[in-house]
């Protein structure tokens, strides 16, 4: 006698498994909704320092009768830029992902993914999706409050729907680039059991070269051209630049395709690393 389970197709069974992982992760994350809301408000506090800092910089550069710009940004653009990068970094940051993968490899916990029909990278990705859904479902109100208070810095108003759609695409792809970049660092744990130093170097370069600290167009030309080639700019600078109209319309489609190319490339890198890492992995003991 056939049962409902037996009649389900492999795809249906896989979708049910994915939904179960997302649902459990979502319930787990929503336990900390108060922490999410408070953390979101605290995330915007450094913007006060940035307002004072850039206000002083623009005041020192001001010329009578001329609007001061720095790296293509006006003062109001600069503050709006930092607000948008806060949103972008909330999507692309993956706290604890690399160190968690390396720890599971080192402690042998990764064995459970070798004996169960669950893919490690898929499981972790679904967990992060649930984390972001839980985060934004709770943190939307603090975000709205901060952007309402700072609405005067968006002097050009809201962008048109095409730019909004492109901005949303950059956030989603920025999330995927952030995930697979950090997953690749964690998977190095198959070859080097300790990846803390590598992670520290990555975080350092990411902080300076992603645009999180300042727009990368402020870098000297001799350095900027190289930074523009890296995927790090898609973690913070690029979404903000798209939203503020700093990417010329005729270059926007090409830039989005390049970002999508980085996503595909990093997925392939992680898949190859995981497959080769599992082949060389050895577990001993109970």
pLDDT in tens, 199-231: 889 888 888 889 888 888 888 888 889 999 999
Residue range 181-209: average pLDDT?
88
Exposure of 142 in the CB half-sphere (CA atoms within 13 A):
21
- Report whether pLDDT(6) > 60: no
Which of the four pLDDT bands, split at 50, 70 and 90, describes residue 2? Answer: very low
- Report whether pLDDT(4) > 70: no
Per-residue pLDDT at 285: 60
- Report whether pLDDT(1) > 50: no
Q: How far apart are CA 9 and CA 18, in angstroms?
A: 14
pLDDT in tens, 134-179: 877 777 777 888 888 888 888 877 888 999 999 999 999 999 999 9
CB atoms within 10 A of CB 192: 12
Q: Look up residue 23 and give its two tokens.
A: 């649902």
State the helix-helix crossing angle for 33-43 and 75-92, rounded to 10 degrees.
150
Task: With residue 72 as reference, give the H or E element that holds it.
Answer: none
Evaluate the CA torsion angle 120, 121, 122, 123 in order and state its sign.
positive
- Report whether pLDDT(66) > 80: no
Please give the DSSP secondary-structure letter assigned to residue 73. Answer: B
Which of the four pLDDT bands, split at 50, 70 and 90, describes residue 188? Answer: very high
The percent of residues above 90 in pLDDT, for the chain, comes to 26
Burial 93-129 (b: 16+ CB within 10 A, else e): bbeebbbbbbbbbeeeebeebeeeeeebbebbbbbbb
Q: Look up residue 137 and give its two tokens.
A: 């479902």
Angle at 51 between CA 55 and CA 58, to 5 degrees: 20
Per-residue pLDDT at 266: 96
CB contact set of 193 (below 8 Å; sequence gap of 6+): 102, 105, 106
- Report whether pLDDT(3) > 90: no
Highest mean pLDDT among 30-39, 43-52, 220-229, 233-242: 233-242
Name the CA dihedral angle for 70, 75, 76, 80, rounded to a multiple of 10 degrees.
Answer: 60
Query: Which ranges of the chain does DSSP label H, i.e. alpha helix?
Result: 4-7, 10-30, 33-43, 46-61, 75-92, 97-107, 112-115, 120-149, 161-187, 196-209, 221-227, 237-243, 249-280
Per-residue pLDDT at 50: 76
| Start-to-end C-alpha separation, the chain | 39
pTM given for the model: 0.84
pLDDT in tens, 253-284: 999 999 999 999 999 999 999 999 988 887 66
Please give the DSSP secondary-structure letter assigned to residue 66. Answer: S
- Report whether pLDDT(43) > 80: no
pLDDT in tens, 92-151: 888 889 989 998 888 888 888 888 778 889 989 988 888 888 877 777 777 888 888 888
């Amino acid at each position: 006698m056939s049962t409902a389970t037996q009649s389900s197709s492999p795809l249906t069974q896989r979708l049910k498994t994915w939904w179960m992982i997302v649902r459990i992760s979502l319930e787990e994350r929503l336990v900390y909704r108060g922490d999410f809301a408070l953390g979101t408000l605290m995330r915007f506090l450094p913007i006060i320092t940035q307002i004072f800092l850039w206000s002083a910089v623009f005041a020192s550069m001001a010329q009578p009768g001329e609007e001061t710009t720095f790296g293509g940004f006006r003062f109001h653009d600069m503050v709006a830029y930092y607000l948008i990068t806060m949103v972008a970094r909330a999507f692309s940051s993956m706290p604890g992902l690399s160190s968690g993968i390396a720890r599971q490899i080192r402690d042998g916990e990764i064995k459970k993914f070798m004996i169960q029909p669950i893919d490690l990278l898929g499981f972790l990705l679904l967990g992060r999706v649930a984390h972001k859904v839980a985060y934004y479902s709770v943190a939307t109100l603090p975000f709205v409050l901060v952007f309402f208070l700072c609405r005067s810095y968006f002097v050009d108003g809201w962008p048109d729907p095409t730019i909004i759609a492109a901005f949303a695409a950059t956030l989603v792809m920025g999330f995927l680039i952030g995930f697979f970049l950090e997953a690749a660092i964690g998977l190095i744990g198959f070859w080097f059991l300790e990846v803390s130093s590598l992670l520290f170097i990555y975080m350092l370069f990411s902080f300076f070269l992603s645009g999180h600290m300042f727009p990368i167009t402020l870098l000297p030309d001799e350095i900027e051209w190289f930074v523009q080639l890296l995927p790090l700019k898609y973690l913070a600078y690029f979404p903000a630049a798209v939203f503020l109209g700093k990417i010329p319309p005729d270059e926007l489609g090409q830039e989005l395709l390049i970002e999508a190319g980085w996503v595909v490339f990093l997925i392939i890198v992680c898949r190859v690393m995981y497959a080769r890492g599992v082949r060389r992995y050895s577990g001993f003991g109970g």
